Amino acid sequence: MKKYRILIAKPGLDGHDRGAKVVAHALRDAGFEVIYTGLRQTPEQIVKTAIQEDVDLIGLSILSGAHLQLSKKVIELMKKEGIANIPVFVGGIIPPDDVPRLLEIGVTRVFGPGTPLSKIVQEVREVLEGVTSTSGS
Amino acid sequence: MDHKEIAKLITLLENEPDRARDILKKLPKRICPVIGFTGSPGVGKSTLIDQVIARLRSAGKTVAVVAVDPSSPFSQGAFLGDRVRMKKHFLDEGVFIRSMASRGALGGLNESIYDVVELLEAVGFDYVLIETVGVGQAEVEVRYVADVVALVLSPGFGDEMQLLKAGVMEIADIYVVNKSDLEGNDSLYDQLIGFLTFAGRDALNVVKTSALNGSGIEELVDRIITLWKNFAETEKLKQLRKERLRHHTETLARRTLQKYLSAVDSEDPYEGVELALKFMCERLKYGQGGGT
Amino acid sequence: MYDKEQVKKIAEAFEHWQQRTENDMKKFPERKQKFLSSSGYEFKRCYTPLDVAELDYLKDLGMPGEYPYTRGVQRTMYRGRFWTMRQYAGFGTAEETNKRFKYLLQQGQTGLSVAFDLPTQIGYDSDHPLAEGEVGRVGVAVDSLRDIEILFDGIPLKDVSTSMTINSTAVILLSMYAVTAQRQGAKIEELRGTIQNDILKEYIARGTYIFPPEPSMKIVTDIFEFCAEHMPKWNTISISGYHIREAGASAVQELAFTFGDAIAYVESAIKAGLDPNVFGRQLSFFFAAHNNFLEEIAKFRAARRIWAKIMKERFNVTNQDAMKLRFHTQTGGSTLTAQQPLNNIVRVAIQALAAVLGGTQSLHTNSFDEALGLPTEQSVQVALRTQQIIAYESGVADIVDPLAGSFAVEALTNEIEEKVWEYLEKIDSLGGMVRAIELGYVQKEIHKSAYEQQLAIEKGEQIVVGVNAFQTKEEKPVENILKVDPALEEKQKEALRQLREQRDNRAVAKALKELKQAAQEGKNIVPYVFEAVKCYATLGEISDVLREVYGEYTESTSI
């Protein structure tokens, strides 16, 4: 039976993992297998992990403000490794006008502070299963 | 085979076990030492494995790790965090780490573990390390999958109780007293030696390690290798592999039968089994058994 | 506080009132079945003398400035002097931050607070591969003494009090600060300020650790020892509940884990032969002020009483000054919303008021735009003005501990204290705080609380105005969010390259070698770090030497 595997990663040096862990927990409770990388991951490490764990989606949590550089680097490396088909979600303290820039880089979804967990779970399902659910279960 | 291909195959083995036969058939038969690490959560299994990897790598050996964490019985989801401890090996091409959820299996591993280990052996790793879920006494499956089993203990984890109950105790070849820098460790060590003496087992295979200063790791790895070589030189390894095959077969049989059982609708349990078996035999005759 | 006869009468009256109320409630039910505090205990409908009947005024509250300091650590509190208004600032290069500091001092701020960027906090120079994209981002980038010289250029260090949010590399930044002051002509004996230096909470909540707990504790103790002798006016540690709270802890957990850490520091220092009567005076604390107004006030009051008891009863301290809990407060960053950001001004004002009514020694008020990015000059000004309005206009600073004797506040103070002792017992039973952290116990408790809070918001049990209720359709974007110029990283790297060329590299190599030897031999490393800093050894070079000797830590992860 197909089980979706999601990588939740914290690139960069920022040590605030409250959000990453809460999201990982919610995804687990929503039935996903969540691989957590821990803090201070380089883009290289994240991409290698995504390959070895054969994940279906990557979630990056960044609160330090370095989201543009870090997301860009992760996506560039994914292209190089031939796994650019894996959707990438970015969450954290993201100024609104950076959202279009992130999407342009190739990020699939961006979540700022205050995003409900149900919305994240729903969008993960949408992207993975192509399901558009109407309620925010 | 590169890491990406291996990773994809593991996913297939996990998700579509019926295809395992075809996948593995295409690969050469090959064996390597398969080492299991078991013990309660918090005793430091992942950190220990991290150091064992480092030691094996410095000897030029390639290593594959399978780390199993429990699936939630409610959502069937899982939080797989063991690899956090092994991050310094993420960029090493000679190390492959895969996290697995137990997906309802009760023995502390995952049902496809037999296939996955066979794959990792076949693709040429020098060592395969397995980390079990680590929740309780019922975790004996690793005995059948691994050639050498290391039980990791550390003071203050109810391990003294575990010693008395001695459920998992019997399955281990090597006992690791981890975090040996901590207070209370001497007492654990003494109890362990006592237990082994009266159980008539080899008290030589007790190793003290410390993640803090890396002490004991070299000794642990040496013991593991020596033990495996001994097994390989005697009939022991053959026996172990035979046992593994038997358990693999059992797992398969159970799964196959379950599949047919679920298709049968009967009020009588005896009749239900008969029907399922009959159904299964018919299908297999026509070569549609799939998987087994 | 009441005689038995009176208590009995009140109890009877209360009983009647409860019955009548419950009758009424059949028609007019209350808004919720249960009214819960952040820590999960229930708020009563109404507090009466019955709830504080056991309270012994002299024993449990005492007079302000006297044991157990429930009412405050000074006799006159803010009638003497207001709390220190201290806004945390720092971004980009030392030059830019220097300008911001001068601006803040000019605006009436009374102390400086330095934020460092992540590479500085984790011991990497700006040109380290891991520093990429992070230079000058969440604070000022410091690679060597040169940056600190620029940072405080034109600011006389003997006259200001400076707080530095720095932990695993605290010993390096403290040395740089002290050397800079010396070169300005000041004596280090007279320097006033604080380094955070609270490594244990980094493993729990904030994540800027480098070394494993044991050598980290050794460095902390080295600093205690050095400062007790050479920098007696300096607060050697700011034991921080703030980040623990921000990571999702409840008010009770915030205090419990902070004191768990504090006990570990004190024990470690005593073990190293230091006298808690002496170094105890240099310990300071740092808490968060969150939304639940009354619970927060009670939390601060309980904190003082608990700490006084810990020092007196557990560590047999006799020096009164070493029993006083002095603390800095910051309003809760995680309570700020990105939605309708102006609402944050109100949140911050309420939280700041709780901190003042709770008797804080210094205060940072967050800027309303911080859920979106770094604060602008305008938003920082509003934040500072909020404090000034509380100080100069509200009148709450004119009476010492004005809420003492409130049935609710005293009852909550007791409740929190009790629950904190329960946690501390649990931590002791696990073998102390370092062990509890290594086991992941503390992290798990906090994560559990964070997840529960989030689920409560999801289910609408907890309302966040503008987020899960009272949303507006179209959000007007906030203008001028401050961003760090990406060119800054290159500039910082270039300056570092030049420094490495210009300095006396032989002296650097010698100083680093001596530092390494001292660390290996278990000597107090502070004087050796001073020497390395003086010849412009970089923060990364010094950290690398210590990494070699002490090793690096990997986190414990579970949910």
> A118 CB near a chain C CB, below 8 Å?
yes
> Which chain C residue lies closest to B88 (C-alpha atoms)?
C554
Partner chains of A (3+ C-beta pairs under 8 Å): B, C
Q: Give the position of tokens 């109950």.
A: B165
- Contact residues, chain B, for A128 at CB < 8 Å: none
**Amino acid sitting at position C276:** P
Nearest by CB to C555, from B41, B84, B182: name it: B84
Quick one: three-class SS letters along B204-249? HHEEECCCCCCCCHHHHHHHHHHHHHHHHHCCHHHHHHHHHHHHHH
> A31 CB near a chain B CB, below 8 Å?
yes
CA C137 to chain centre: 20
Q: What whole-number distance in Å separates Cα of residue B66 and Cα of residue B113?
A: 9
Which of A52, A81, A120, A125 has the most B C-beta neighbours within 10 Å, making it the best mutation to test the interface with B? Answer: A52
**Amino acid sitting at position B221:** V
CB contact at 8 A, C305 and C69? yes
Q: What is the pLDDT of residue B204?
A: 74
In-domain check, residue A136: no
Task: CATH number for C196-458: choose from 3.40.50.720, 3.40.50.10470, 3.20.20.240, 3.30.479.20.
Answer: 3.20.20.240
Q: What is the pLDDT of residue A131?
A: 59
Q: What whole-number distance in Å separates Cα of residue C223 and Cα of residue C529?
A: 11
Domain ranges of chain C: 4-52, 196-458
Query: Judging by DSSP bridges, how do beta strands B95-101 and B63-69 pair with one another?
Result: parallel
Instruction: Tell me whether residues C118 and A28 touch, CB distance under 8 A.
Output: no
Q: What whole-number distance in Å separates Cα of residue A119 and Cα of residue A108?
A: 14
Q: What is the pLDDT of residue A135?
A: 41
- Contact residues, chain C, for B156 at CB < 8 Å: 430-431, 435
Domain ranges of chain B: 3-242, 246-285
What strands lie across the sheet with C283-289, from one edge to the other? C84-85, C362-364, C327-331, C283-289, C237-240
Q: What is the pLDDT of residue C314?
A: 98
A25 CA: distance to closest CA in chain C (Å)? 7
Q: Is residue B219's pLDDT more than 70?
A: yes
Q: What is the pLDDT of residue C138?
A: 86
> B59 CB near a chain C CB, below 8 Å?
no
Mean pLDDT of B75-85: 94
- Residue-number span of the structural domain to which A112 is assigned: 5-129
Q: What is the pLDDT of residue C1?
A: 67
Nearest by CB to C559, from B79, B183, B212: name it: B79
> Which chain A residue lies closest to C443 (C-alpha atoms)?
A18
Query: Judging by DSSP bridges, how do beta strands C161-164 and C112-114 pair with one another?
Result: parallel
Mean pLDDT of B124-152: 88
Torsion (CA) C119, C123, C129, C130 in degrees, nearest 10 = -60
Residues 82-101 on B with a CB inside 8 Å of C are: 84-85, 87
Q: What percent of chain A has pLDDT over 70?
A: 95
For CA atoms B85, B90, B95, B99, the dihedral sign is positive
Q: Give the position of tokens 């229930």.
A: C42
Q: What is the pLDDT of residue C223?
A: 96
Residues in chain A: 137
Nearest by CB to A52, from B3, B71, B75: name it: B3
Mean pLDDT of chain A: 92
Q: What whole-number distance in Å separates Cα of residue C518 and Cα of residue A88?
A: 47
Instruction: Tell me whether residues C134 and A38 touch, CB distance under 8 A.
Output: no
Q: C246: closest CA among C364, C140, C136, C326?
A: C364
How do residues B4-34 score in pLDDT, each as one tens digit? Answer: 999 999 999 999 998 999 999 999 999 999 9
> Which chain B residue lies closest to C214 (C-alpha atoms)?
B212
B108 CA: distance to closest CA in chain A (Å)? 17
Q: Crossing angle for the helix pair C539-550 and C505-520, nearest 10 degrees? A: 30
DSSP C120-189: HHHT--TTSGGGTTTTTSSSB---SHHHHHHHTTT--TTTSEEEE--STTHHHHHHHHHHHHHHTT--GG
Question: Which of A53-67, B191-205, C94-108 has the least mean pLDDT?
Answer: B191-205
Q: What is the pLDDT of residue B189?
A: 84
Q: Give the position of tokens 């803040």.
A: C104
B74 CA: distance to closest CA in chain C (Å)? 16
A134 CA: distance to closest CA in chain C (Å)? 17
> Which chain B residue lies closest to C211 (C-alpha atoms)?
B212
Partner chains of B (3+ C-beta pairs under 8 Å): A, C
Which of C434, C556, C559 has the most B C-beta neighbours within 10 Å, making it the best mutation to test the interface with B? Answer: C556
Mean pLDDT of B268-277: 90
Q: Is residue B290's pLDDT more than 50?
A: no
Largest interatomic CA distance in chain C: 85
Tell me if ipTM is over 0.90. Answer: yes
Q: Is residue B205's pLDDT more than 90?
A: no
Q: Is residue B193's pLDDT more than 80?
A: yes
DSSP chain B: --HHHHHHHHHHHHH-GGGHHHHHHTSPP----EEEEE--TTS-HHHHHHHHHHHHHHTT--EEEEEEEPBPTTT--EEE-GGGGGGGGTT-TTEEEEEEE-TT-SSSS-TTHHHHHHHHHHTT-SEEEEE-----TT--HHHHH-SEEEEEE-TTSSHHHHHHH-TTGGG-SEEEE--TTSTTHHHHHHHHHHHHHHTT--GGGEEE--TTT-TTHHHHHHHHHHHHHHHHHSSHHHHHHHHHHHHHHHHHHHHHHHHHHTT---SSHHHHHHHHHHHHHHHHHTT-----
Q: What is the pLDDT of residue A137?
A: 37
Q: Crossing angle for the helix pair C293-309 and C251-271, nearest 10 degrees? A: 20
Token reading at A21: 């862990």
In chain A, how many domains are there? Answer: 1
> B112 CB near a chain A CB, below 8 Å?
no
Contacts of C499 (CB under 8 A, 6+ apart): C143, C144, C146, C536, C538
Token reading at C485: 């110029």
Residues 117-156 on B with a CB inside 8 Å of C are: 156
Between B106 and C203, whose confidence is greater? C203
CATH number, domain at A116?
Answer: 3.40.50.280
Q: What is the pLDDT of residue B139?
A: 73
Contacts of C147 (CB under 8 A, 6+ apart): C93, C94, C140, C141
C211 CA: distance to closest CA in chain A (Å)? 14
> A52 CB near a chain B CB, below 8 Å?
yes
Question: Which of B189-193, B222-226, C517-521 has the least mean pLDDT?
Answer: B189-193
Token reading at C523: 């000597």
CB contact at 8 A, B129 and B99? no
- State the 10-residue block means of pLDDT for chain C, 559 residues long: 88 96 94 91 95 94 97 97 85 86 84 92 96 90 97 94 95 98 96 96 95 94 94 95 96 98 96 94 96 97 98 98 97 95 97 98 94 85 96 98 97 98 96 89 95 94 93 71 79 96 97 97 97 98 97 82
Q: Is residue B289's pLDDT more than 60?
A: no
Instruction: Tell me whether residues A82 and B98 touch, CB distance under 8 A.
Output: no
CA B158 to chain centre: 22
Q: C1: closest CA among C411, C359, C400, C357?
A: C411
**Amino acid sitting at position A86:** I
CB contact at 8 A, C81 and C72? no
> Which chain A residue lies closest to C123 (C-alpha atoms)?
A13
Burial of C190: CB neighbours in 10 Å, binned 0-12, 13-18, 19+ = middle
Task: CATH number for B3-242: choose from 2.102.10.10, 2.60.40.1120, 3.40.50.300, 3.40.50.800.
Answer: 3.40.50.300
Instruction: Tell me whether residues B212 and C554 touch, CB distance under 8 A.
Output: no
In-domain check, residue A135: no
